[in-house]
Amino acid sequence: MEINGRTRTCGLIGNPVEHTLSPVIHNTLAQRFGHNLVYVPFPVETGRIEEAVVGASALQLLGLNVTVPYKGEVISCLREVDSLAASIGAVNTLVAVPGGFKGYNTDMEGLYRAMMSEGIQIVDEEIILLGAGGASRAVAYLCAVKGAKRVYLLNRTLEKAQKVAEEVNRAVERQVILPMALTDFDSLPDRKFLTIQGTSVGLAPHVEDVVIDDEKFYAKVHTGFDLIYSPWETRFMRLVKKRGGRAYNGLKMLLYQGIIAYELWNRVTVSEADAATVYEKLKAHFI
């Protein structure tokens, strides 16, 4: 494409951002739609997120994605916050509005679309969720609002799991999230579960790390979904497969959260054919 005086800019703010694959998603979509748009990563130093948001608005950026560690901190810098993002307590997408930006969370719907594309159901399922950090909190909320029967929230620190469970259960007005200590997994019902790995454990370069190392746990998993996409196959995924389960990584979550952001910025609908094209470009970085 030709960059000229009418080229619009979108980007990613976070720290670090050097590893990001988001430019692959957005620049490929811009090319397919014929949009005069470029997407670039912007590293933001600790303590300077407000300056970054104000500066992006002054420069008339069309929109931004937000990654760690700023998904919560950025909220106070925004003109408006979508109700879903406010409920989750995390924003990952900023859309330009008069005087600043409106914040959205596309991670949750991105995960849902990723899971649906693999034939993974949430409604009426009993689910194990590993971790109680920011990502897992959003996943817990997703499972609750999409009709999960029960979510066993396992975390190293029980108190943190209890806090997330209390917040989500209050928000959805039913007791669906059940907090447990990781070490108590033996007390789970004797059946197989959809299991979502919501921590950063196993992320490259620490590819042999895993939240639960006991193979007895993986006998309880019929389908494992790891939010991590680098490495392509985490140890969590290998352990699930070893005990006969299906396992998926988080690359499609990355894909769909980006697609939803692109749709918000440009007021378009991305077809599944275009989504498949972008996904193949993302996969090429791993396979």
Q: Tell me the per-residue pLDDT of 195-206, one tens digit each, with 9 for 90 and over.
A: 999 999 999 889
DSSP 225-237: EES--SSSS-HHH
Per-residue pLDDT tens digits for 111-135: 999 999 999 999 999 999 999 988 8
pLDDT of residue 287: 82
pTM of the complete model: 0.95
* Residue ranges of domains in the chain: 8-105+252-283, 109-249
pLDDT tens for 23-76 read 999 999 999 999 999 999 999 999 999 999 999 999 999 999 999 999 999 999
In CATH, what number does 109-249 get? Answer: 3.40.50.720
**In 3D, which of 94, 109, 99 has the Cα closest to residue 9?**
94
Is 1.10.275.10 the CATH classification of the domain at 8-105+252-283? Answer: no
Average pLDDT, the chain: 96
| Two domains, one topology: 8-105+252-283 and 109-249 | yes
Q: What positions carry a catalytic annotation? A: 71
pLDDT for the residue 192: 97
Half-sphere CA count of 142, side-chain side, radius 13 A: 25
